[in-house]
Amino acid sequence: MEKSLNLNTSTDFNLLFPHTDSFAPCRTQKAGLNTSVVFHNVSLSTVMRCEGKQKCSLHFRVHTALQLSEHIHGVSICTVTAGMMLEICRLVNFPRVARERLEGQQLEVQNDCSEVWPGQYVHVTLKTNPSYCGVTWTSTYQVPECSSRDLRSNIPECITGRLAYTVDSDRKELAVSVSDMLEDKDYHLRLCHRKDYTCRDTGANALIRKEDVLKNTTLQYSTPLPCLCIEGWSATSDAPRVQVFPFRDNLEELWSGINFDPVEELLSWEPVCPVVAVISLCQKQGDDECDDLAGSSQTLNREKITFSKVDPHPQLCMKFTTDSGSWIRCPFADGNFQGNSSL
């Protein structure tokens, strides 16, 4: 019959110390001792400990079943985390009485004292005490990211706050309210244009004080672009940010900004927001028809689309096609572009 003894980090014979003997010579391996025989069912996980609302921390848990023998007095659990040069080890020594009574049996050993942070990589090494050559178990574990719902609600480093909004199109205003923000911090809000990995500020900013009863404000916008973003974050260093896009589906707003240089005979268009589109020239035939000009199609894979040697006339148009549909703009229809200008 298999017995188990749960030796956790609250026992008197668990000691935490900076690792100093990593390079000490290991002992010659005893007959019958190897990693697969000694360590069984090793599992790595993350546990959350909370002292109150929004006051939780993450801890790295190592759990293993250990085959006890007369040659094994304990086990060392060593961890190294990304960005830390120090290896931290926890030494679990088994009392002599327990070793004699449970020789040949499996012991359950668990340690979850090492605090970790979201997304961090942890390298873990298990060794016997004393250490025997070849009897070592190693692995690397990644702590869950802040994308985990539990972490976003409880870990201060992950709490972004939740944004809700209403749109007043006539006034071009966004009424924004914040919930679930860090209770002991002020909160920043702004409007910005998201492009690639950056968000360019529009100048609309607000600060919600932690003591404010109502966590809301109003932000002005000029154009309801699909990349216009409401961004919020706590007033603390390296705070994670939350972004929402109230006009995400307003693709029609993208097809302005057509430019024509009559001297160079160059027709161009530059998107104000990232978009996947095919742009072509077409000949307007009626209210709804525009026949593509052969060889004019270009896929937007850079920041600017240009057409050279363009002969402007009222029926010459640009067609923008995305997965959502097609839009036609005719820059010369009303006699536009007298000189180098834009529409």
Give tens-digit pLDDT for 44-103: 999 999 998 888 999 999 999 887 778 888 888 989 887 777 788 888 888 887 777 777
Structure tokens at 311: 């002969």
CB of 296 within 8 A of CB of 311? Answer: no
Six-digit token pair at 103?
């020789």
User: According to the model, what pLDDT value does residue 174 have?
Assistant: 98
Buried b (16+ CB within 10 A) or exposed e, 41-76: ebebebeeeeeeebebbbbbbbbbbbbbbebbbbbb
Instruction: Decide: helix, strand or coil at residue 120.
Output: coil
Tell which residue, 164, 149, 85, 76, has the closest CA to residue 118: 149
Q: For residues 187 and 206, give the distance between their C-alpha atoms in angstroms, rounded to a whole number.
A: 8
How confident is the model at residue 103, as a pLDDT?
Answer: 77
Q: What is the pLDDT of residue 234?
A: 95
Helices (H), 90-182: 96-102, 149-154
Please give the Cα distance from 49 to 53 (Å, whole number): 11
Beta-carbon count within 10 A of 96 CB: 9
pTM of the predicted model as reported, rounded to 2 decimal places = 0.74
| Distance from C-alpha of 221 to C-alpha of 201, rounded to nearest angstrom | 11
Residue 254 per-residue DSSP state: G
- Lowest-pLDDT choice from 27-41, 153-167, 217-231, 319-333: 27-41
Please state which of the ranges 3-12, 128-137, 174-183, 215-224 shows the lowest mean pLDDT.
3-12
Instruction: Assign 3-class secondary structure to 274-317.
Output: CCCCEEEEEEECCCCCEEECCCCCEECCCCCEEECCCCCCCCEE
Q: Specify the residue for token string 């966590």.
A: 215
Provide the pLDDT for residue 337: 58
pLDDT the model gives residue 90: 87
Cis preceding linkage at 130, omega within 30: yes
225-262: pLDDT as tens digits: 999 999 999 999 889 999 999 999 999 999 988 999 99
- Separation of alpha carbons 138 and 107, rounded Å: 19
- Can you list the domains of the chain with their CATH numbers? 6-151 (2.60.40.2160), 159-244 (2.60.40.2150), 251-342 (2.60.40)
- What is the rounded average pLDDT of the residues 321-333? 91
Measured over the CA atoms of residue 69, residue 70, residue 74 and residue 76, the dihedral's sign is negative
Distance CA 244, CA 222 (A): 17
